[in-house]
Structure 1
Amino acid sequence: MQRSLLLILIFVSSVAFSQLKKEYYDNEQTQLKSETDFYKGMPHGAFYEYYKNGKINRKGFYNYGKEDSTWCLYYEDGDLKAVERYVRGKKWGTNTYRYKNGQVAQIIKFTNDLPDSTWVALYENGKKKC
């Protein structure tokens, strides 16, 4: 019983400190611009940003104010533009960028926010650039 009560108190206290912040394009708050989870005054959790047409612009996660995990960026029509990976606010791992037609434009591997020697650039027709 005490263990259950302790778990409930921990959950309630974490909810009390976290909040969802919404930003809007308009004063009437009908056009959502972004949604961000905050914890102790900093972005922490899911983040969504929208174009004025309502389609998603980018989405990802924050970990104590820094980008973390996988972030997806989209063109205004909703097509995937890029997939970026972050660890504690720094690009890390393989990031992929696409042309508007969906073809891969670049594949860049990052370590500690810096591109390493693994970098592939392609033309819109899919052929490798030098």
Structure 2
Amino acid sequence: MTKYLLLVLALLFFGCKNSDFDDASKRNEDWVYWIDDKTGEGFWIRTGKETTAKDGVYYMFYYNGKIYEKGKLKDKRIIDTVFVYGINEELIRYKVITPDTTREIYVKNGGFIEYYQNGSVYQKGTVTDNKFKDDWIRYYKNGQPEWVQDFVNNTGVVTWYFENGGIKDISNWKNDLEDGVSTSFFANGQMDIKLSWKKGIKEGKSEIWYDSGIKKSIRYFKNDTLEGPYQQWTIKGQIEAEGIYVKGQFSGVSWLYHDNGAVAISGNRKSDKLDGLLEKFDEKGNLIKSFYFENGVRIE
């Protein structure tokens, strides 16, 4: 890996022979320096600006002119290895990108701190075995924590926050696997989802709410698959579905409503398919039509 890194670094620096690469007025977070693969020419692109550049090497910078990140694009997609630097241009981590995964490797073990391009703290914690483990904090640009990992030996709590400081999600972990109850919240503070986990898979009761605080559904998981009683309500609190899941397939009754709250359609389902009576009603509750289904097929 070390020889590979040295080779890539050498290639990246070799391309930087254009004199304007050292333009101090542009070596900041507002600009990206680009070296085109086809022409070998380098030029500056303002951050966020549409460009025809798609194959080549890019450089991003800190506010103080030091290199923040460099990498390679092909067809406008980041490929190979991305190098991330500290505020004094020391290599602190790199990302190895393959079609299926992105692997992050931290260069040094021990205390770690990384900054945004503007100089505010991006993340900090302790690196072990070239990975972040146990205690770790990542920040928004406004200085508020984005998420906090409070672990001891890969076990503990991860808390995510909204940018205004409100709690977004709390999850419990054991040996690097989600284990226990996780809870998510809407931006207004109302409960969103409450879900049980066991050794990294969904197991047990799950509850979901609307942002108004009205319950949306209650369901159960067994070995990561829906299994057991199920209830679902509309945003107005009316029952929308009720039945049972068996191996991830729903059997029971579901309803649709008119704007005035009257039932519009009620129907039976078996193993996720219409099965039995389906009825349509007008806004006054009068039956309009009825149909009969077997295994998802309408019977005339």
Counterparts of 1:46 and 1:32 in 2: how far apart (Å)? Answer: 15
Residue number among 250, 254, 257 corresponding to 1:121 in the alignment:
254
Confirm or deny that 1:85 pairs with 2:217. Answer: no
Which runs of 5 or more structure 2 residues have no equivalent in the other structure? 1-151, 268-277, 279-300
Q: Which residue of 2 aligns with 1:24?
A: 161
Structure 1: 4+ residue segments shifted above 6 A: none
- Look up the equivalent residue of 2:256 and give its one-letter code: Y
Q: Give the Cα–Cα distance (whole angstroms) in 2 for the partners of residues 101 and 77 of structure 1.
A: 10
Counterpart amino acid of residue 172 in structure 2: D
* C-alpha displacement of 1:17: 5.2
1:50-129 pair list within 5 angstroms:
50-115=185-250, 118-124=251-257, 125-126=262-263, 128-129=266-267
Give how far 1:85 is off. 0.6
Paired residues in the alignment total 112
What amino acid maps onto 1:81 in structure 2?
K
Structure 1 residue 40: Cα displacement: 0.7
Structure ranking higher on relative contact order (CA contacts 8 Å, 6+ apart): 1
Who wins on radius of gyration, i.e. which is larger? Answer: 2
Structure 1 position 16, deviation (Å): 5.7
Structure 1 segments unaligned to the other structure (5+ residues): 1-14
Contact persistence 2:256–2:266 (CA under 8 A): yes
The Cα offsets for residues 41-61 of structure 1, whole Å up to 9 and x where unpaired, read as 111001000001111101021
Determine which structure has the larger helix proportion and give its number.
1
Alignment partner, residue 60 of structure 2: none
TM-score by length of 2: 0.35
1:105 and 1:50 map into 2 onto residues whose CA distance is 23
Q: C-alpha root-mean-square deviation of aligned residues, in Å?
A: 1.8
Superposition TM-score, scaled by structure 1 size: 0.78
- What SS does the aligned partner of 1:73 have? strand
